[in-house]
């Protein structure tokens, strides 16, 4: 077995979900909503299965979906994309990331990663032969500056993998940080691989700005989006890749030999969904914001230091200096019976061990039940849970 994967451990999501099942805990760990998703979009998929085309669609995706992607991003982010030459459909954003890394990296190329980071990034970079260079972000603001970038960019840097909004912290990087990153990418002739799957799940009126829109970045950015996140249909695994034609041709060669294509009925439904009016997207954001505020207020009332969450399905709590987030989460799931995720699991080295991630994309009854369980517990001096 390849040592990269032989050394890999079971993901923290699977571990905590298994503990939740074994103990009967309420699972606020793994990030998915507990509702079925918008009925009209699901109905479109069902109709397409019964009455549509169910054979291989084009490798780049159904033309109707590629047209819908281009029109959607023109409307919401003012991006001008050629649907025939600059848009590709993939079987989820993770497939898009894997294909892009395999296509863009030669063994020995350096890849800049921001940690905490989505757990698939590092194994994919290593499997492609890349050499990771880490920018370590820290609570409570999770920001980086020019000095941080100067320590990791070099003549060997080929790709920067940039997640904005950031999972697990719910952070939105501002215009100043985007400008810093763009300058380093241009100066070092680096491709920016942008995981922007949470771009629609933003709160408090904050609007996502794609790195592709920053001056100098249009020709060197690969932008990745996700229908699963936009429509809260995480199991559909429909992603889209946007890049200038020369870059997209390279990415398509990798995609051809990974999944080749994506179920056409789901593509048809996503094309319909992307054309919906802005009111539906505002309603989605408002619903998740209300859930964020419900859980955040409840956690704060129970003694947690809740950090700001501007996007995603997640909020984090700061346990304080000297905390052990892994031990805390294990005690939490076995004691009060609530599953969360230790944020240290999202680091490759030099982990921050004081923060824990909760998923608020749940029904009110689920959030309230979790908070009720936490009412019967107290925070000790080093933040483990003990019975009150």
166-199 pLDDT tens trace? 999 999 999 999 999 999 999 999 999 999 999 9
Q: Cβ-count burial of 361 within 10 angstroms (0-12 exposed, 13-18 middle, 19+ buried)?
A: buried
The pLDDT, as a whole number, for residue 18 is 85
The pLDDT, as a whole number, for residue 3 is 46
What is the percent of the chain with per-residue pLDDT over 90, rounded to a whole number?
A: 88
pLDDT over 60 at 385, yes or no: no
Q: How confident is the model at residue 9 (pLDDT cuts 50, 70, 90)?
A: low
284-309 pLDDT tens trace? 999 999 999 999 999 999 999 999 99
DSSP assignment string, 180-201 = HHHHHHHHTT-EEEEE-TTTT-
Q: Are strands 110-115 and 131-136 parallel, antiparallel or unpaired?
A: parallel
CATH architecture for the domain at 39-276: 3-Layer(aba) Sandwich (3.40)
**How far apart (Å, rounded) are the C-alpha atoms in residues 247 and 157?**
17
| Mean pLDDT for the stretch of residues 317-325 | 95
**How far apart (Å, rounded) are the C-alpha atoms in residues 380 and 360?**
24
Q: Are strands 191-195 and 221-226 parallel, antiparallel or unpaired?
A: parallel
The pLDDT, as a whole number, for residue 386 is 45
pLDDT over 80 at 91, yes or no: yes
The pLDDT, as a whole number, for residue 378 is 53
Domains 3-30+279-387 and 39-276 share a fold: no
Q: What is the CATH number of domain 3-30+279-387?
A: 3.90.1150.10
Domain edges within the chain: 3-30+279-387, 39-276
Q: Mean pLDDT check: name the lowest of 23-27, 29-33, 377-381.
A: 377-381
Average pLDDT, rounded, for the chain? 93
Could you tell me if 153 and 188 are in contact, meaning their C-beta atoms sit under 8 angstroms apart? yes
Could you tell me if 344 and 318 are in contact, meaning their C-beta atoms sit under 8 angstroms apart? no
**Nearest Cα to 195, choosing from 162, 228, 221?**
162
The pLDDT, as a whole number, for residue 10 is 65
pLDDT over 90 at 21, yes or no: no
262-288 pLDDT tens trace? 999 999 999 999 999 999 999 999 999
Tokens 């790195």 belong to 211
Strands, E assignment, 285-384:
305-306, 314-318, 338-339, 341-342, 355-359, 377-379
Q: Mean pLDDT check: name the lowest of 30-44, 127-141, 182-196, 300-314.
A: 30-44
| Mean pLDDT for the stretch of residues 241-269 | 96
The pLDDT, as a whole number, for residue 13 is 74
Q: How confident is the model at residue 163 (pLDDT cuts 50, 70, 90)?
A: very high
pLDDT over 50 at 387, yes or no: no
Cβ-based neighbours of 147, under 8 Å, separated by 6 or more: none
Could you tell me if 96 and 67 are in contact, meaning their C-beta atoms sit under 8 angstroms apart? no
From residue 291, alpha-carbon distances to 114, 201, 362 in Å are 27, 12, 7
**Nearest Cα to 288, choosing from 359, 217, 234?**
359
**Nearest Cα to 253, choosing from 32, 122, 102?**
102
Rounded to a whole number of angstroms, the distance between the first and last alpha carbons of the chain is: 48
pLDDT over 70 at 5, yes or no: no
pTM as predicted: 0.93
Note if the bond before 140 is cis, omega within 30 degrees: yes
Tokens 């863009």 belong to 104
The pLDDT, as a whole number, for residue 11 is 73
The pLDDT, as a whole number, for residue 261 is 93
Q: Mean pLDDT check: name the lowest of 25-39, 105-119, 266-280, 368-382.
A: 368-382
């Amino acid at each position: 077995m390849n040592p990269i994967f032989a050394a890999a451990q079971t993901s923290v999501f699977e571990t905590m979900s298994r503990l939740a099942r074994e103990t009967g805990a309420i699972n606020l760990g793994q990030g998915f909503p507990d509702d079925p998703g918008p009925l009209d979009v699901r109905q479109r998929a069902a109709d397409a299965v019964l009455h549509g085309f169910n054979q291989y669609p084009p490798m780049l995706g159904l033309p109707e979906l590629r047209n819908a992607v281009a029109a959607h991003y023109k409307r919401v982010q003012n991006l001008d994309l050629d649907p025939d030459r600059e848009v590709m459909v993939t079987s989820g954003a993770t497939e898009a990331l894997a294909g892009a890394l395999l296509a863009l990296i030669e063994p020995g190329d350096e890849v800049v990663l921001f940690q905490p980071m989505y757990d698939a990034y590092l194994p994919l970079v290593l499997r492609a032969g890349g050499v990771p260079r880490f920018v370590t972000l820290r609570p409570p603001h999770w920001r980086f500056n020019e000095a941080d970038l100067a320590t990791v960019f070099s003549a060997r840097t080929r790709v920067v993998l940039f997640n904005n909004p950031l999972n697990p912290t719910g952070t939105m990087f501002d215009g100043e940080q985007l400008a810093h990153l763009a300058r380093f990418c241009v100066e070092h002739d680096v491709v920016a691989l942008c995981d922007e799957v949470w771009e629609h799940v933003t709160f408090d009126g904050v609007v996502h700005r794609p790195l592709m829109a920053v001056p100098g970045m249009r020709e060197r950015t690969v932008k990745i989006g996700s229908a699963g996140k936009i429509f809260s249909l995480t199991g559909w695994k429909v992603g889209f890749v946007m890049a200038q034609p020369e870059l997209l041709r390279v990415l398509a060669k990798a995609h051809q030999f990974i999944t080749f294509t994506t179920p056409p009925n789901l593509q048809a439904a996503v094309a319909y969904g992307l054309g919906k009016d802005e009111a539906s997207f505002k309603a989605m954001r408002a619903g998740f914001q209300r859930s964020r505020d419900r859980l955040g207020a409840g956690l704060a009332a129970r003694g947690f230091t809740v950090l700001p969450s501007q996007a995603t399905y997640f909020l984090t709590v700061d346990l304080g200096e000297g905390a052990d987030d892994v031990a805390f989460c294990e005690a939490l799931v076995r004691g009060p019976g609530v599953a969360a995720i230790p944020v240290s699991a999202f680091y490759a080295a030099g982990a921050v061990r004081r923060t824990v991630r909760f998923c608020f994309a749940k029904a009110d009854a689920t959030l309230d039940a979790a908070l009720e369980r936490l009412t019967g517990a107290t925070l000790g001096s080093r933040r483990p849970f003990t019975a009150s």
